[in-house]
Structure 1
Amino acid sequence: MAAYLKAMLGIVFILGCIWIGAFITFVQDIDRPEPANVEKVGGIVILTGTPARLVAGFDLLNEGAGSRLLVSGVNSKVTRETLRQAIGQSSSLMDCCVDLGRLARNTVGNAYETSLWAKSHDFQSLLIVTSAYHMPRSLVELRRQMPDIKLVAYPVASDGLTLQNWWKSPHTLFVMSGEFNKYVFSLVRARLD
């Protein structure tokens, strides 16, 4: 019995060390997101969450990086006009080039909603706009739904999450470890598909 317990503790210790090492690598990678080379794509997709994502996505649309924009996961209470006023865009831009997706409730839903939108517009490439810490998992889920569409990451800094000295902030540590665990789960699920 003692040998079994010792072996189990050894396994838990090794798995814990692997998790900590992978988590630290994950945080380092998202702490210094590579600036995206903005290339012309078919469509731009914003995965809702923070105002910084909306601003970045609409800036890209205004710069001509894509012909249409999808805001995925919009709350049913948010109207086009409310969103337009909140981000300071023109009615003509909203009417011609912006679609509001209301199906998604999570990242898996964002991927499904985005795949439907991309197929309906026959897009072969998409610029994905989301927070840097959310980008790895988002890309895994999006690629599961759209393996034949080119996805270009455009990570933005999160409005409410500072990664500098993340180990000193219980809130940041909690958010980041939760996101990392979801990312690992997404990777495992993608491998099993």
Structure 2
Amino acid sequence: MVRTRQPAAPVSATRAADAVAVTTRIIQDLIDRMDLDAGVEYLPDAMVTEETGNESGMVFDILGEDLGLLIGRHGQTLANFQYLVRILVAQRIGDYLPIVVDVNGYRQRRFKSLEVLARRTAEQVRQRRMPYSLDPMPPFERRIIHMVLAGDPEVTTQSVGFGEERKVVVVPREDSLK
């Protein structure tokens, strides 16, 4: 099951169509090899959470039942799947493309919940004037927290720790303490 919606105004219609077709085929082939009952949908207008500011990002959503295995713990399997797709597409078309792979809208829902967490944590830091450390999270989730709070005049963020224990700490800005 493959569904493709065409983008409203593609930059290069031929190149974009080829990239969408190749990426869709690669994702569907991997899903079939994993013996999962799922399909791929290209989402031209979807929010790209990782490639901020890059409007040419391509988002593909894998749709089906019982795909938790493909998401994995904290989205780690999905992140690895996406990495594999990016490599295979780059080999096939000879160019790196900012591809985002989602499963049943998981990344979109996770983005929204991390956005709420970041804003709520920033409010706590503003009120208490003390740093607050979030739980360890994967790199793409830490980037979301940093991105959401980047423009906040009263708090700033830092990543601390190593490996799987790396986490974001939200701290009050020095300027806002005066």
**What band does the TM-score fall into relative to the shorter chain?**
under 0.3
Higher RCO, 1 vs 2 (CA within 8 Å, ≥6 residues apart): 1
TM-score, normalised by the number of residues in structure 1: 0.22
TM-score, normalised via structure 2 length: 0.24
Higher helix share: 1
